Amino acid sequence: MSRRLRVAILISGRGSNMDALIEAARAPDFPAEIALVVSNRPEAAGLAKAKAAGIAVAAVDHKIYAGREEFERSLQIVLETHAIDLLCLAGFMRLLTPWFIGQWRERMLNIHPALLPAFRGLHTHERALAEGVKIHGCTVHFVVPEMDEGPIVAQAAVDVRDSDTPQTLAARVLEQEHLLYPRALRLVASGAVSVVGNRVLGAASAPEPALIVPSSG
């Protein structure tokens, strides 16, 4: 097997997607290793969990920088110091500048709690209920300068139930996020997919295909 890519996960909070990626990357045949977890919030619960899991961690506190780009230049130095190949945003709640995104073109993934291009931005579960959609879900995509756009690697769907609240829907989508993100990272890190325009091609012939998973019950 070729060299495992060195992945940094960027978080801002609890880090449950981070946990799922760390767990998946323990498999000997996983094509990436989680080499670093970085948070822009030093108090993020995910940082302590990553440290306990034996992963190198760093906090780059955005509040001490004069602007976004100053923050990102520090972040970039940390990432370069750890020889990172690929970034996974996992509940990382800072908008990134075109400069930073340009450094990581086709090397930065994000997970979003909706079926993009529907429900970009925040409060996706509330908005899905308010719009009355019957299918909701999550998306892993490459990051481009436009927020919550970029070539889609994989999506997972859940049905929306009459009894759903934003909380119950969020919980079912989160379950799928934890399955989807490791699969998407595997596809990208193994080189199984390629980006052609706004499409990610090749997923069907990859070891684990892109998912559409209606939840049961």
- CB nearer ligand GAR, residue 112 or residue 172: 112
Q: Which residue number has the CB closest to ligand GAR?
A: 91
Is residue 112 among the annotated active site residues? yes
Cα separation of 209 and 217, whole Å? 24
Question: By CB under 6 A, which span of 15-23, 34-42, 158-166, 203-211 interacts with ligand GAR?
Answer: 15-23
In the complex, least distance from residue 16 CB atom to ligand GAR, rounded to whole angstroms: 3
Nearer to ligand GAR, 168 or 202 (CB): 168
DSSP readout, 67-121?
SHHHHHHHHHHHHHHTT--EEEESS--S---HHHHHHTTTSEEEEESS-TTSS-S
d(CA 193, CA 211): 14
> Which candidate, 42, 43, 45, places its Cα nearest to that of 18?
45
Binding to ligand GAR by residue 90, rule CB under 6 A?
Answer: yes
To the nearest whole angstrom, how small is the minimum distance from the Cβ of residue 205 to ligand GAR? 27
| Smallest distance from ligand GAR to CB 196, Å | 25
The number of beta carbons lying within 10 Å of the beta carbon of residue 56 is 14
Binding characters for ligand GAR, 126-165, by CB under 6 A (x = yes) = ----------------------------------------
Contacts of 22 (CB under 8 A, 6+ apart): 9, 34, 50, 53, 55
Burial group, residue 3, by CB count within 10 angstroms (0-12, 13-18, 19+): exposed
Kindly name the residue from 62, 112, 125, 178 that is annotated as catalytic.
Answer: 112
Distance of CA 12 to the CA centre of its chain: 12
Nearer to ligand GAR, 16 or 215 (CB): 16
Contact track, ligand GAR, 174-203, x by CB under 6 A: x--x--------------------------
The one among 6, 13, 56, 69 contacting ligand GAR by CB under 6 A: 13
Judge whether 92 and 12 are in contact, CB under 8 Å: yes
What are the residues binding ligand GAR (CB under 6 A)? 11, 13-17, 90-91, 111-113, 174, 177
Residue numbers annotated as active site? 112
